[in-house]
């Protein structure tokens, strides 16, 4: 049937993504609905199976990720900035140092190009970074492996720290309030319009940036409350994971080994820097050492927030730092990735 020819690879891809998400969730892997589909789609691609994600699904996923990012920027987060201003200044400075140091390390030691090194070095939300990478000419396969290694390495530290402290994690964490369908639609339409306008200006990941800006404004003004619901997040992550897998066509085992080694090396570098900054903040501002280490760790928001609950650390202090780090990177990264950005520190080569 000729009409099935363009549709079949998409159906195969989505089925593989759903299976990968279910397996990863059953195995309790970090970020299962993103990592599972990415792993299975990658394996299929490396085996020569034809897989594809149509532009419409890709763009819808980018828009949803932007809406999700913006939902973390609330009046409570802004109010918290008045409590620890110097700590936030240190956080922003550290984030810039991590970007410059880790990206320079990846370029000079492993030979990655500027865009790939910047995206691989970004200590941000995994889905956000990969969405940015998919909208550029970077090596998405390398960025995916390096970022996944960072997330996995930092996530594996959680049970180790819990074991060392002799603590037991809580059985459940309170689920955040979810935004309703009408609120989602009210944000999605202007976000789509803004994203299309930003595309004409050649802004990287324009739909993602448009979604983030509209969602941030809606949450800051109190027009919308709540995060993107779980039933929408899961298919979005599955689509992003499948998209990652489609980019592994032609990738060799040597490339994978190189990216894995680069990910481990870069993670060691950023952990050393963030640990040093956390110790300085703890001593200088009289912040408990455990709270400072978790707040400045370049890990995922969900994992670090859970660690703050498990360990004797202030969850508000930890959560606000990770949210503001993502906000900072959300505005800085598109500028750094733009060909029009006049950087004095990052070579365009």
Q: Please state, as a whole number, how many other Cβ atoms lie within 10 Å of the Cβ of residue 276.
A: 12
Mean pLDDT calculated for residue range 208-237: 87
pLDDT confidence of 3, banded at 50, 70, 90?
very low
Contact between residue 266 and residue 105 where contact means Cβ atoms under 8 Å apart:
yes
Q: Is the pLDDT of residue 191 over 90?
A: yes
Mean pLDDT calculated for residue range 86-113: 92
pLDDT digits (tens, 9 = 90+) for 280-325: 998 998 888 778 888 888 876 655 655 555 555 666 687 778 878 8
- Residues of the chain with pLDDT > 90: what percent? 21
Q: How high is the pLDDT of residue 301?
A: 61
Q: Is the pLDDT of residue 136 over 60?
A: yes
Contact between residue 163 and residue 235 where contact means Cβ atoms under 8 Å apart:
no
- Residues of the chain with pLDDT > 70: what percent? 82
The DSSP string of 56-116 is HHHHHHHHHHHHHHHTT--HHHHHHTTTSHHHHHHHHHHHHHHHHHHHHHHHHHH---HHH
Mean pLDDT calculated for residue range 257-282: 90
Q: How high is the pLDDT of residue 109?
A: 93
pTM of the entire predicted model: 0.68
- CA-to-CA separations, 349 to 117, 177, 283, in angstroms, rounded: 11, 45, 40
Contact between residue 29 and residue 36 where contact means Cβ atoms under 8 Å apart:
yes
Q: Of 35-39, 49-53, 88-92, which has the strongest mean pLDDT? A: 88-92
pLDDT confidence of 271, banded at 50, 70, 90?
confident
Mean pLDDT calculated for residue range 240-249: 79
pLDDT confidence of 185, banded at 50, 70, 90?
very high
pLDDT digits (tens, 9 = 90+) for 23-44: 988 987 767 887 788 889 888 8
Q: How high is the pLDDT of residue 218?
A: 92
Helix (H) or strand (E) holding 336: helix 315-337
Q: Is the pLDDT of residue 173 over 50?
A: no
Which residues, other chains included, contact 287 with Cβ-Cβ below 8 Å and sequence gap of 6+?
Answer: 84, 87, 281, 317
Which of 313 and 96 is assigned the larger pLDDT?
A: 96
- Name the average pLDDT for the chain: 80
pLDDT digits (tens, 9 = 90+) for 144-165: 888 878 776 776 564 455 455 5
pLDDT confidence of 231, banded at 50, 70, 90?
confident
Q: How high is the pLDDT of residue 17?
A: 92
Name which of 126-130, 147-151, 299-303, 340-344 the model is least confident about: 340-344
pLDDT confidence of 116, banded at 50, 70, 90?
very high
* CA atoms of 20 and 15, how far apart (whole Å): 9
Q: What angle do CA 135, 141, 147 make, to 5 degrees?
A: 90
* CA atoms of 321 and 298, how far apart (whole Å): 11
Question: If we measure between CA atoms, which residue out of 78, 129, 170, 139 comes closest to residue 299?
Answer: 129
Q: Is the pLDDT of residue 197 over 90?
A: yes
* DSSP state for residue 30 in the 8-state scheme: S
């Amino acid at each position: 049937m000729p009409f099935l020819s363009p549709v079949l690879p998409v159906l195969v891809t989505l089925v593989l993504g759903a299976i990968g998400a279910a397996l990863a969730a059953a195995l309790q892997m970090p970020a299962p609905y993103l990592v599972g589909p990415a792993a299975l789609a990658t394996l299929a691609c490396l085996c020569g199976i034809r897989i594809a994600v149509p532009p419409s699904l890709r763009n819808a996923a980018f828009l949803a990720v932007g809406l999700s990012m913006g939902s973390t920027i609330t009046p409570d987060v802004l109010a918290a900035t008045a409590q620890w201003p110097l700590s936030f200044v240190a956080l922003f400075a550290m984030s810039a140092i991590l970007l410059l140091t880790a990206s320079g390390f990846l370029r000079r030691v492993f030979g990655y190009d500027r865009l790939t090194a910047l995206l691989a070095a970004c200590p941000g939300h995994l889905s956000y970074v990969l969405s940015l990478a998919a909208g550029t000419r970077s090596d998405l396969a390398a960025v995916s492996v390096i970022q996944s290694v960072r997330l996995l390495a930092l996530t594996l530290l959680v049970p180790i720290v819990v074991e060392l402290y002799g603590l037991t994690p809580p059985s459940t964490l309170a689920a955040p309030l979810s935004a309703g369908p009408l609120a989602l639609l009210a944000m999605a339409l202007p976000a789509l319009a803004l994203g299309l306008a930003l595309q004409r200006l050649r802004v990287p990941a324009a739909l993602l940036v448009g979604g983030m800006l509209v969602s941030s404004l809606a949450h800051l003004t109190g027009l919308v409350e709540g995060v993107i619901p779980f039933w929408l997040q899961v298919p979005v992550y599955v689509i992003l994971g499948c998209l990652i897998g489609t980019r592994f066509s032609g990738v060799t085992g040597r490339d994978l080994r190189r990216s894995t080694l680069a990910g481990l090396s870069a993670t060691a570098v950023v952990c050393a820097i963030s640990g040093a900054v956390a110790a300085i903040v703890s001593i200088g501002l009289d912040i408990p050492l455990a709270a400072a280490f978790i707040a400045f760790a370049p890990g995922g928001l969900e994992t670090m927030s859970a660690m703050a609950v498990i360990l004797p650390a202030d969850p508000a202090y930890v959560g606000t730092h990770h949210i503001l780090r993502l906000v900072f990177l959300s505005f800085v990264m598109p500028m750094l990735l733009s060909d029009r950005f006049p950087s004095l520190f990052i070579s365009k080569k």
